[in-house]
Amino acid sequence: MGLFSFKKSWQSRKKSARFRTRYFQQRITQARNYKRPTRIVPKAKTKISLRTLAFKLTFYKIIFLGIVLTIGYFLIISNLFLVTEVNVLGNEQVQSDKIESWVEDAGESRVWKLVPRNHILLLSEKSLYSILSEKTPYIFDVTRVSRKGINKIEITVEERVPLAIWKTGEKFFYIDKLGIAYEQVVSGYATSTENYIQIEDITETPIIVGEDLKILQVIEFFNKAFLNWDKNITPGIDYIKIPGRFGQEIQFFSKEGWAVIFDISTEAYKQVQSLRLILDQEIPLDRRKEVAYIDLRIPNKAYYCFQGEPCSVIQTRNELVE
């Protein structure tokens, strides 16, 4: 019994001595200080944080809303960009201060019921002409707009210039090169002035100031015929008559009293040259005042009539008037 006890005790001491060795103790110490390395799991590149995305969208919405509100404030509410100063060039008939006040008053009406009409960003040649033409017929066009500040502009205007005096009934009007009756003229001046030719509508159709007479064909013929008459024929033109605004004939009356009937649809130059040949070759100078009228409406023919005498007809060859 004692022998077996001694053997076990010796074996136990032998095992205990092995655990107390320096190598074993170092291994235990290392094991105690060992830390498992953190496992790194790669993240997917396409993974998006919904919270971050929502935050960014909200941020951009706030910025966009702020920009819209700022633009709306300066367009609709603020007076900062409303034009109050206007420097006008090219005007003689219309005073500059009146034009400036008309532009400023335009702010009382709005474009799209939101933006004042005199906002500096909206004022162009076309929009300014629209504003001014509502106030006066004397402005023919706005040819230039230059911005000089946040509420100041410089504009150049072209005013209407009388081309002739239009008579209908007992009323007289200045008309411009487009046929706009833009100003009524007193009869005393209209019947006595030699500065403008008087064109009479014998149908006496009533018109109003600012009306477009729609007589561009008449004006075109008048300009060409007047120019050629002035160069080639004496005496000059006294006045003109037309049978309505849409008629195809026009009568020029000379200062000697005789009349010439032209066809508006035929070239003015050739008809005036035919008239010159008739006056030079067919009508003696001492009988000019006896002429009642000369009719050039029929191609290649002309009729001339002396007062109280039958009319005569002659051929008008085109080669003579080329």
pLDDT tens, residue by residue, 208-218 = 999 999 999 99
* Domain with 117 in it: 85-159
The first and second tokens of residue 228, run together, are 């050629």
Of the candidates 133, 75, 135, the one whose C-alpha atom is nearest the C-alpha of residue 101 is 135
User: Residue-wise pLDDT tens for the chain (322 aa)?
Assistant: 554 454 555 455 555 666 667 776 777 777 676 666 666 665 555 555 666 767 777 777 777 777 876 766 555 656 788 999 999 999 999 999 999 999 999 988 888 778 889 888 889 999 999 999 999 989 999 999 999 988 999 999 999 999 999 999 999 999 999 999 999 999 999 999 999 999 999 999 999 999 999 999 999 999 999 999 999 999 999 999 999 999 999 999 999 999 999 999 999 999 999 999 999 999 999 999 999 999 999 988 899 999 999 998 888 765 444 4
d(CA 141, CA 133): 9
* CATH number of the domain where residue 129 is located: 3.10.20.310
| Residue 315 forms part of a structural domain | no
| Residue 317 forms part of a structural domain | no
Domains held by the chain: number: 1
| Residue 92 forms part of a structural domain | yes
The answer for residues whose C-beta is within 8 angstroms of residue 315's C-beta and 6 or more apart is: 300, 301
d(CA 24, CA 17): 10
| Residue 97 forms part of a structural domain | yes
Report pLDDT digits (tens) over 67-113.
876 766 555 656 788 999 999 999 999 999 999 999 999 988 888 77
What is the per-residue pLDDT for 89?
Answer: 96
| Residue 13 forms part of a structural domain | no
The first and second tokens of residue 235, run together, are 């005496």
| Residue 64 forms part of a structural domain | no
128: left (phi over 0), alpha (psi -120 to 50) or beta: alpha
Q: Helix 96-105 and helix 125-133: axis angle, to 10°?
A: 100
Of the candidates 127, 100, 125, the one whose C-alpha atom is nearest the C-alpha of residue 116 is 127
Residue 94 near residue 102, CB atoms below 8 Å: no
Residue 52 near residue 58, CB atoms below 8 Å: no
d(CA 281, CA 314): 11
d(CA 160, CA 179): 11
| Residue 2 forms part of a structural domain | no
* Alpha helices (H) along the chain: 2-19, 22-33, 50-72, 96-105, 125-133, 187-192, 216-232, 268-281
d(CA 130, CA 136): 10
| Residue 250 forms part of a structural domain | no
- Provide DSSP, 230-299: HHH-SS-EEEEEESSTT-SEEEEEETTS-EEEEETTS-HHHHHHHHHHHHHHTS-GGGGGGEEEEE--ST
